[in-house]
Amino acid sequence: MAAPRRRASAAAPPARLGDLHAALAAWFAREARDLPWRAADRTPWGVLVSEIMLQQTPVVRVLPMWEEWMRRWPHPSDLAAEPAGEAVRAWGRLGYPRRALRLHAAAAVITREHDGELPTTEEGLLALPGVGTYTAAAVAAFAFGGRATVVDTNIRRVHARLVGGEALPAPSLTAAEQRRAAALLPEDRAESVVWNAATMELGALVCTARSPRCGECPVAADCAWMAAGEPPPTYTPRGQAWHGTDRQVRGAIMAVLRAAEHGVPRALLEPLPSAAESPDGPVSAALARLHALGAGLEQRERALAGLLADGLAVDLDGVLRLP
């Protein structure tokens, strides 16, 4: 009886690391998606916008929105010249609209303090509003060709399987994962950029969370998870609820505010015919969708209070509008 294969260490990189780098780079050269924020004429601003939009949002939803934003605001100064509410309105239904406020705030700082040009280092990028560790590393790598340790959900999953022998990474990023990602990164700057992008792409297209296509994986022969017999996850990922939640009500209120260019009386959020005369057109349709949720007064007020506290809405003498 053959001895079972030894599970790879969760922290140590594979011995054939150079071969992994080469195999994944070759796969990426063949299979990478043609995305505009990867194009030769991309700008650092375009990369930053894409990274903020892609947080918890699939590429298929981001593509048309990114293209519209770059047509309207090709430079940070273009966005900074607009009210923050226009960024929120243009965000549409991408979700998590605070990201639009953060992009607007970052554009203002880039315009005011950096002559309209993004900082080129991770440290400088981290000083921008709304830019965290992942985004700073990603922009440093993909916009400026820097050697940065990029760790997103897809990369974490590839590392967990390829090196750690685990079906899924831990629910939250750990210091050990960050160290492992740093150890896997090629020393060469250009190669490190390709490794980051290729690993991310592999997680998005092949090494997916639910149905990995291991037969198409360019590094399957070195995968510790496959060598271990593809053990199941040690926990069940919990999806975020939507229907009936405050998030759903917040989204419906935001849809009303986006449709109402000049604001909407607060009384219109009450599903009572006598509260105020209902407007026509897109505002009426958005109000109808809000009222159809059947949210109680307490939940509506809670959702609205959250929007006001987050700066996504303002109340001017009983008239609600975008900031």
Q: What percent of the chain has pLDDT over 90?
A: 84
Across residues 13-23, what is the average pLDDT?
85
Is residue 201 exposed (0-12), middle (13-18) or buried (19+ Cβ within 10 Å)?
buried
Determine contact, residues 97/68, Cβ cutoff 8 Å: no
Closest listed residue to residue 228, CA positions, set 1, 47, 6: 6
Is 18's pLDDT higher than 80? yes
How many residues does the structure list for the chain?
323
160-171 confidence digits (pLDDT tens): 999 999 999 999
| Reported confidence tier of residue 215, pLDDT bands at 50, 70, 90 | very high
What is the spatial distance between Cα 286 and Cα 194, in angstroms, rounded to a whole number? Answer: 44
Q: In what order do the strands lie in the sheet with 319-321?
A: 264-265, 319-321, 314-316
| Reported confidence tier of residue 11, pLDDT bands at 50, 70, 90 | very low
Phi, psi (5° rounding) for residue 264? -140, 135
Closest listed residue to residue 27, CA positions, set 287, 205, 166: 205
Determine contact, residues 141/160, Cβ cutoff 8 Å: no
Q: Supply the mean pLDDT for the chain.
A: 92
94-143 confidence digits (pLDDT tens): 999 999 999 999 999 999 999 999 999 999 999 999 999 999 999 999 99
Within 10 angstroms of residue 61's Cβ, the number of other Cβ atoms is: 15
Is 298 a residue of the active site? no
* C-alpha count within 13 angstroms, C-beta hemisphere, residue 132: 7
pLDDT of residue 306: 96
What is the spatial distance between Cα 176 and Cα 116, in angstroms, rounded to a whole number? Answer: 37
| Reported confidence tier of residue 7, pLDDT bands at 50, 70, 90 | very low
Indicate which residue of 51, 166, 177, 201 is catalytic: 51
Across residues 298-302, what is the average pLDDT?
94
Q: Which residues are CB-contacts of 58 (< 8 A; sequence separation ≥ 6)? A: none
pLDDT of residue 5: 40
What is the spatial distance between Cα 54 and Cα 46, in angstroms, rounded to a whole number? Answer: 12
With tokens 């997103």, the residue in question is: 152
Q: Please state, in angstroms and as integers, the Cα–Cα distance from residue 1 to each residue in 4, 71, 173, following that order.
A: 9, 64, 38
pTM to 2 decimal places: 0.89
Closest listed residue to residue 68, CA positions, set 39, 32, 44, 94: 94
pLDDT of residue 242: 81
Determine contact, residues 24/199, Cβ cutoff 8 Å: yes
